[in-house]
Structure 1
Amino acid sequence: MAEAHQAVGFRPSTTSDGAEMALSAPVLQEIYLSGLRSWKRHLSRFWNDFLTGVFPASPLSWLFLFSAIQLAWFLQLDPSLGLMEKIKELLPDWGGEHHRLRGVLAAALFASCLWGALIFTLHVALRLLLSYHGWLLEPHGAMSSPTKTWLALVRIFSGRKTMLFSYQRSLPRQPVPSVQDTVRKYLESVRPILSDEDFDWTSVLAQEFLRLQASLLQWYLQLKSWWASNYVSDWWEEFVYLRSRHPLMVNSNFYMMDFLYVTPTPVQAARAGNAVHALLLYRHRLNRQEILPTLLMGMRPLCSAQYEKIFNTTRIPGIPKDHIRHLRDSRHVAVFHRGRFFRVGTHSQSGLLSPRALEQQFQRILDDPSPACPQEEHLAALTAAPRDVWAQVRSSLKIQAKDALEAVEGAAFFVSLDSEPAGLTREDPAASLDAYARALLAGRGHDRWFDKSFTLIVFSNGKLGLSVEHSWADCPISGHMWEFTLATECFQLGYSADGHCKGHPESSLPQPQRLHWDLPEKDRGEFCLTYESTMTRLFLEGRTETVRSCTREACNFVRAMEDKEKTEPQRRALFRLAVEKHQALLKAAMSGQGVDRHLFALNIVSEFLHLRSPFLDQVHSEQWPLATSQIPVQQIHLFDVHNYPDYVSSGGGFGPADDHGYGVSYIFMGDDTVTFHISSKKSSTKTDSHRLGQHIEDALLDVASLFQDGQRPKPRCRGLQEEHTGHRGGSLPCHRMGSRAPTKPTNF
Structure 2
Amino acid sequence: MAEAHQAVAFQFTVTPDGIDLRLSHEALKQICLSGLHSWKKKFIRFKNGIITGVFPASPSSWLIVVVGVMSSTYLQVDPSLGMIARINRTLDTTNCMTSQTKKVVSGVLFSTGLWVALIVTMRYSLKVLLSYHGWMFAEHGKMSRATKIWMSMVKIFSGRKPMLYSFQTSLPRLPVPAVEDTISRYLESVRPLMKDGDFQRMTALAQDFAVNLGPKLQWYLKLKSWWATNYVSDWWEEYIYLRGRGPLMVNSNYYAMEMVYITPTHIQAARAGNAIHAILLYRRKVDREEIKPIRLLGSTVPLCSAQWERLFNTARIPGEETDTIQHVKDSRHIVVYHRGRYFKVWLYHSGRLLTPRELEQQMQRVLDDPSEPQPGEAKLAALTAADRVPWAKCRQDYFGRGKNKQSLDAVEKAAFFVTLDDTEQGYRQEDPEASLDSYAKSLLHGKCFDRWFDKSITFIVFKNGKMGINAEHSWADAPIVGHLWEYVMATDCFQLGYTEDGHCKGDPNPSIPCPTRLQWDIPEACQEVIETSLNSANLLANDVDIYSFPFDAFGKGMIKKCRTSPDAFIQLALQLAHYKDMGKFCLTYEASMTRLFREGRTETVRSCTTESCNFVLAMMDPSQTVEHRLRLFKVASEKHQHLYRLAMTGAGIDRHLFCLYVVSRYLAVDSPFLKEVLSEPWRLSTSQTPQQQVELFDLERNPEYVSSGGGFGPVADDGYGVSYIIVGENFIHFHVSSKLSSPETDSHRFGRHLKQAMADIIALFRLSVNSKK
Contact 1:48–1:165, Cα closer than 8 Å, also in 2 = no
Distance 1:254 1:191, change over 3 A: same
Equivalence for 1:700: none
Equivalence for 1:242: 242
| CA–CA distance in structure 2, aligned partners of residues 144 and 501 of structure 1 | 52
Write the letter of the residue equivalent to 1:275: A
| Larger helix fraction of residues | 2
| CA–CA distance in structure 2, aligned partners of residues 47 and 343 of structure 1 | 32
Equivalence for 2:362: 361
Identify which of 517, 520, 524 aligns with 1:517.
520
The DSSP-based 3-state class of the residue aligned with 2:401 is helix
Equivalence for 2:530: 682
Gaps of 5+ in 2: 1-44, 540-773
Equivalence for 1:677: none
Write the letter of the residue equivalent to 1:505: P
Contact 1:311–1:453, Cα closer than 8 Å, also in 2 = yes
CA-based RMSD of the aligned residues comes to 1.9
Write the letter of the residue equivalent to 2:308: Y
Deviation of the 1:289 alpha carbon: 1.1
Query: Which piece of structure 1 moves more, 463-472 or 394-403?
Result: 394-403
| CA–CA distance in structure 2, aligned partners of residues 381 and 66 of structure 1 | 62
Equivalence for 1:120: 120
| CA–CA distance in structure 2, aligned partners of residues 441 and 376 of structure 1 | 21
Write the letter of the residue equivalent to 1:138: A
| CA–CA distance in structure 2, aligned partners of residues 363 and 133 of structure 1 | 53
Equivalence for 1:592: none
Residue 174 of structure 2 corresponds to residue 174 of structure 1: yes
Per-residue CA distance 1:420-460 (angstroms, 9 max, x = gap): 11001111111111110000000000001111000000000
| CA–CA distance in structure 2, aligned partners of residues 199 and 367 of structure 1 | 65
Residue 80 of structure 2 corresponds to residue 80 of structure 1: yes
Per-residue CA distance 1:87-146 (angstroms, 9 max, x = gap): 223337665763322222222211111001111110111111111111111122221111
Aligned residue runs from structure 1 range 556-705, under 5 A:
660=525, 680-683=528-531
Identify which of 445, 465, 468 aligns with 2:468.
465
The DSSP-based 3-state class of the residue aligned with 1:335 is strand
| CA–CA distance in structure 2, aligned partners of residues 209 and 46 of structure 1 | 50
| CA–CA distance in structure 2, aligned partners of residues 368 and 96 of structure 1 | 73
The DSSP-based 3-state class of the residue aligned with 1:376 is coil
Equivalence for 1:321: 322
Identity across the alignment (%): 55
Equivalence for 1:486: 489
| CA–CA distance in structure 2, aligned partners of residues 96 and 363 of structure 1 | 69
Aligned residue runs from structure 1 range 222-261, under 5 A:
222-261=222-261
Equivalence for 1:716: none
Contact 1:418–1:457, Cα closer than 8 Å, also in 2 = yes
Equivalence for 2:198: 198
Equivalence for 1:398: 400
Equivalence for 1:411: 414
The DSSP-based 3-state class of the residue aligned with 1:333 is strand
| CA–CA distance in structure 1, aligned partners of residues 396 and 87 of structure 2 | 59
Deviation of the 1:728 alpha carbon: 6.8
Residue 423 of structure 2 corresponds to residue 420 of structure 1: yes
Contact 1:398–1:405, Cα closer than 8 Å, also in 2 = no
Distance 1:661 1:266, change over 3 A: closer
Per-residue CA distance 1:577-620 (angstroms, 9 max, x = gap): xxxxxxxxxxxxxxxxxxxxxxxxxxxxxxxxxxxxxxxxxxxx
Residue 286 of structure 2 corresponds to residue 286 of structure 1: yes
Write the letter of the residue equivalent to 1:515: L
| CA–CA distance in structure 2, aligned partners of residues 661 and 110 of structure 1 | 67
Aligned residue runs from structure 1 range 47-66, under 5 A:
48-66=48-66
| CA–CA distance in structure 2, aligned partners of residues 102 and 449 of structure 1 | 63
Select the structure with the greater relative contact order (CA < 8 A; seq sep ≥ 6).
Answer: 2
Distance 1:96 1:448, change over 3 A: closer
Per-residue CA distance 1:289-316 (angstroms, 9 max, x = gap): 1111111232311000001110001111
Query: Which piece of structure 1 moves more, 140-149 or 496-505?
Result: 140-149
Equivalence for 2:215: 215
The DSSP-based 3-state class of the residue aligned with 2:170 is coil
Distance 1:257 1:661, change over 3 A: closer
Deviation of the 1:683 alpha carbon: 4.4
| CA–CA distance in structure 1, aligned partners of residues 529 and 513 of structure 2 | 37
| CA–CA distance in structure 2, aligned partners of residues 725 and 117 of structure 1 | 63
TM-score normalised per structure 2? 0.62
The DSSP-based 3-state class of the residue aligned with 1:118 is helix
Deviation of the 1:402 alpha carbon: 1.2
The DSSP-based 3-state class of the residue aligned with 2:424 is coil
Write the letter of the residue equivalent to 1:81: L
Gaps of 5+ in 1: 1-44, 523-659, 663-679, 686-723, 730-748
Contact 2:422–2:462, Cα closer than 8 Å, also in 1 = yes
Per-residue CA distance 1:221-266 (angstroms, 9 max, x = gap): 1111100001111100000000000111111100000110000100
Distance 1:349 1:212, change over 3 A: same
Equivalence for 1:379: 380
Per-residue CA distance 1:690-733 (angstroms, 9 max, x = gap): xxxxxxxxxxxxxxxxxxxxxxxxxxxxxxxxxx976479xxxx
Equivalence for 1:336: 337
TM-score normalised per structure 1? 0.64
Name the larger-Rg structure: 1
| CA–CA distance in structure 2, aligned partners of residues 395 and 76 of structure 1 | 73
